[in-house]
A and B are shown apart, each in its own frame.
Chain A
Amino acid sequence: MRAAVITFPGSNCDYDCYKAIRSVLNEPAEYIWHRETDLHDADVVILPGGFSYGDYLRAGAIARFSPIMSAVRRFADAGGPVLGICNGFQILCEAGMLPGALVRNVSLQFRGIPVHVRVERADTLFTDRYEPGQVLRIPIAHGEGNYLADEETVTRLEDEGRVVFRYVEPDGRVTEAANPNGSTRNIAGIINEAGNVLGLMPHPERVVEAVLGSTDGLALFESLRANVHAGAAREA
């Protein structure tokens, strides 16, 4: 599985993603600078966390116009898996590749803490190595992670089962206290209609090795790898 990690000016989780693919999964990974226009035959594209363009105007608002984003959009339209983590999720929303928007946390505070999220869909390209309803402990680190969309969009996301991760208590209950940023219906991650573009605020790439305190993020990358390999085997 060849992974392209897109680096924008201000990305700061690109190395974590690169390392998760390269040294933990032992798969090829490559940084691609946002000024480039080609994805170098990648099988998977990762938009990492950080503060692209200093979050000027709105988080992700400028990055979506980077030259590489045209290639990312074509790649996604052709069914290629795109994973947006934190600022990557914000960029996908600004680009209209996922619905809704991520706005200022209700607390107004930047939150850098471990949270619990429940796997709502364990049958996606990105999550089929998890159990349905499994509760993961994954860190968040954001000031603008409050997921917002109009009622119609949210209802549609729920009806179509496109909420993939939700903030919960350690025992899996959805409560207001477990919601770290005020997100509508505790939404932590969503997927597009075609099922190949996932955005989430928590950082799975930060919990892929025991030395990091948890390996709860690993199965996401393993799911991706297994599905990319299965796809390649089908095509061969």
Chain B
Amino acid sequence: MKQYKVEVRVTPREGLLDPQGKAVEHALHQLDFSGAERVRVGKLVHFLLHADGDDDARARADDMCRKLLANPVTEDYTITLSVD
């Protein structure tokens, strides 16, 4: 068994309106950060995971994303693994 650090980044699906991102973008512009655009707001979930190897760790993290951590209708996710 190896111990992994897993980071799951969940973001609003590409192409979907993200009202939160829009509001943040608007606020940035009001602060004169005019160069900022296409702001999206997502979430970061991180945890430790005991798994047999890289493939096992990735497969289990992917399963977690599909079942709970992300909603496939509205969100995309990326998984980053590193050995702890």
Residues of chain A whose beta carbon lies under 8 Å from any beta carbon of chain B: 57-58, 61, 65, 93-94, 100-101, 103-108, 146, 148-150, 182
Q: Does B19 contact A (CB under 8 A)?
A: yes
Assess whether B71 is in contact with A58, with CB atoms less than 8 Å apart: yes
Within 8 Å CB of B20, what residues of A? 104, 108
27 contacts between A and B (CB under 8 A): A57-B68, A57-B69, A61-B68, A61-B71, A65-B68, A93-B73, A94-B71, A100-B73, A101-B71, A101-B73, A101-B74, A103-B74, A104-B19, A104-B20, A105-B19, A106-B17, A106-B19, A107-B19, A108-B19, A108-B23, A148-B16, A148-B73, A148-B74, A149-B73, A150-B73, A182-B17, A182-B19
Q: What CA separation (Å) do A105 and B22 show in the bound complex?
A: 12
Q: What CA separation (Å) do A105 and B20 show in the bound complex?
A: 9
Q: What CA separation (Å) do A83 and B71 show in the bound complex?
A: 22
Residues of chain B whose beta carbon lies under 8 Å from any beta carbon of chain A: 16-17, 19-20, 23, 68-69, 71, 73-74
Q: What CA separation (Å) do A96 and B11 show in the bound complex?
A: 20
Within 8 Å CB of B69, what residues of A? 57
The SS class assigned to the A binding surface is loop
> A105's closest neighbor in chain B, by CB?
B19
Q: In angstroms, how far is the closest chain A Cβ from the Cβ of B2?
A: 27
Within 8 Å CB of A108, what residues of B? 19-20, 23
Can you name 7 extra interface pairs (CB under 8 A) apart from A93-B73, A108-B23? A57-B69, A94-B71, A100-B73, A104-B20, A105-B19, A148-B16, A182-B17
Q: In angstroms, how far is the closest chain A Cβ from the Cβ of B21?
A: 10
Within 8 Å CB of A103, what residues of B? 74
Q: In angstroms, how far is the closest chain A Cβ from the Cβ of B73?
A: 4
The 7 closest A-B pairs by CB, nearest first: A101-B73, A101-B74, A106-B19, A108-B19, A104-B19, A101-B71, A108-B23
Q: What CA separation (Å) do A108 and B26 show in the bound complex?
A: 13
Q: What CA separation (Å) do A57 and B16 show in the bound complex?
A: 19
Within 8 Å CB of A65, what residues of B? 68
Q: In angstroms, how far is the closest chain B Cβ from the Cβ of A52?
A: 14
Q: What CA separation (Å) do A150 and B74 show in the bound complex?
A: 9
> B72's closest neighbor in chain A, by CB?
A101
Q: In angstroms, how far is the closest chain B Cβ from the Cβ of A163?
A: 17
Q: What CA separation (Å) do A70 and B74 show in the bound complex?
A: 24
